[in-house]
Amino acid sequence: MPEQSAASPEPLLKVEGLVKHFPIKKGLFGRQTGAVKAVDGISFDVRAGETLGVVGESGCGKSTMGRLVTRLLEPTGGKVEFEGHDITHMSAGRMRPLRRDMQMIFQDPYGSLNPRHTIGGIVSTPFRLQGVTPEGGVKKEVQRLMELVGLNPEHYNRYPHEFSGGQRQRIGIARALALNPKLVVADEPVSALDVSIQAQVVNLLDDLQSELGLTYVIIAHDLSVIRHVSDRIAVMYLGKIVELADRKSLYSAPMHPYTKALLSAVPVPDPKRKGVKSERILLKGDVPSPISPPSGCRFHTRCWKATEICKTQEPPLIALKTGHQVACHHPENAPDQVPGEAVLPEARESVEVVSIVKGEPVAEETAPEETAPEVIEVTEVAETPADAETPDADETESEAATGPDSTVQESTDK
């Protein structure tokens, strides 16, 4: 949407120091004993017509961030601006007209649709909540939306259980597009789908952006999906953005050690045939608790470059190259910000580098089976434990969907 960008130099979405802490209460009187620091001071902006991808491990605060920028959750602190309007603590009445321009696609295509409502009823709910009557009638518009996302318009009166997972996600996309939004936040839109269906949904989102001029914030943990759809990528770790850069720069020369470790986990297609030496960086230890995150840099407990300053001073997110921001005292592929610091003894034991393929590369022609390179079996890393308890996401989505000011529907569609 270049016309809009030229007319409005301000970003469509601007986030400054966004914070969300979920209180932990115990005892008969509900005394607060702590807080889960799900999002703890993140800043970024999204220009009209672009796609910002957000990646990170489970529990790093990605989904919470998505709900904060769409005001499905009330921020604890910071500032959120949409089209120049400060919506951080805007009242429900004032938020109502703005909700037409920001919508959300939820992760679970099975739980986000009310099984008692027909597809026509689900997709048309935003019109009812906003008091909008489409030109040509509601049914005609819903059928147009169904056709737009690749569904048969004749299935208007069918129920969610009659559709596959990929088709249900398309229904959720159709509902999000009902009011012609400018911003769409997609929370793990393909993670619950079969691999064979994921590419179809990703390509659909890409086509819709080209056709309708949409602006996306796409949340995912699959780096290959994010690379395909994003213009810029933000990497989150334990409630913080540790790196923010354009797609090409991030994948070719990552600066944060955590980003480098993430990218090393991306499978290389047939590395032995291409003669690619692939190294997997295995981070030892568990992700610290968001209830009591480490002092200084939050990644220093698992970083192989950690020094004393990493334990005491939190690195700011600064631009070391044009369009490439990183929060690290000792970045990769960039000058050291604190030269001369000695690496901590425990840092050397926090990581293990494993070569996936070794030996001479195989020629491009078909090689004899006995001369194939030796492959080292790599033990799968144990999955890190989930975050500390946070409020039920379905409950949050339900409140937003049934509220008088929301157009986003979840499993509690009326």
| Residue range 200-221: mean pLDDT, rounded | 93
DSSP 346: G
Q: Residue 84 in contact with residue 7, Cβ under 8 Å? A: no
Distance between CA atoms of 347 and 104, rounded to whole angstroms?
40
**What is the layout of strands, in order, in the sheet containing 13-26?**
31-46, 13-26, 77-82, 85-86
Least confident range from 150-159, 167-176, 335-344: namely 335-344
Across the chain, how many H-helices and E-strands are there? 13, 14
Q: What pairing do the DSSP bridges indicate for beta strands 13-26 and 31-46? A: antiparallel
Per-residue pLDDT tens over the stretch 295-327: 999 999 999 999 999 999 999 999 999 999 999
Q: Residue 233 in contact with residue 206, Cβ under 8 Å? A: no
Residue 270 has pLDDT above 80, yes or no: no
Residue 278: what pLDDT? 66
Orientation of helix 138-148 relative to helix 119-130, angle to 10°: 120
Least confident range from 58-62, 225-229, 272-276, 299-303: namely 272-276
And the tokens for 4?
A: 């809009």
Per-residue pLDDT tens over the stretch 215-228: 999 999 888 889 98
Distance between CA atoms of 154 and 151, rounded to whole angstroms?
9
Predicted model pTM: 0.81
Q: Residue 174 in contact with residue 148, Cβ under 8 Å? A: yes
The confidence band for 110, taking pLDDT boundaries of 50, 70 and 90, is confident
Distance between CA atoms of 184 and 176, rounded to whole angstroms?
8
- pLDDT > 70 fraction of the chain, expressed in percent and rounded: 81
Quickly name the fold that domain 2-239+389-402 has: Rossmann fold (3.40.50)
| Residue range 273-299: mean pLDDT, rounded | 83
Domain residue ranges in the chain? 2-239+389-402, 256-371
Place of tokens 């500032």: 79
Q: Which helix (H) or strand (E) segment is 40 a member of? A: strand 31-46
Chain-centroid distance, C-alpha 124: 27
Distance between CA atoms of 167 and 25, rounded to whole angstroms?
41
Residue 70 has pLDDT above 50, yes or no: yes
Residue 377 has pLDDT above 90, yes or no: no
Residue 274 has pLDDT above 60, yes or no: no
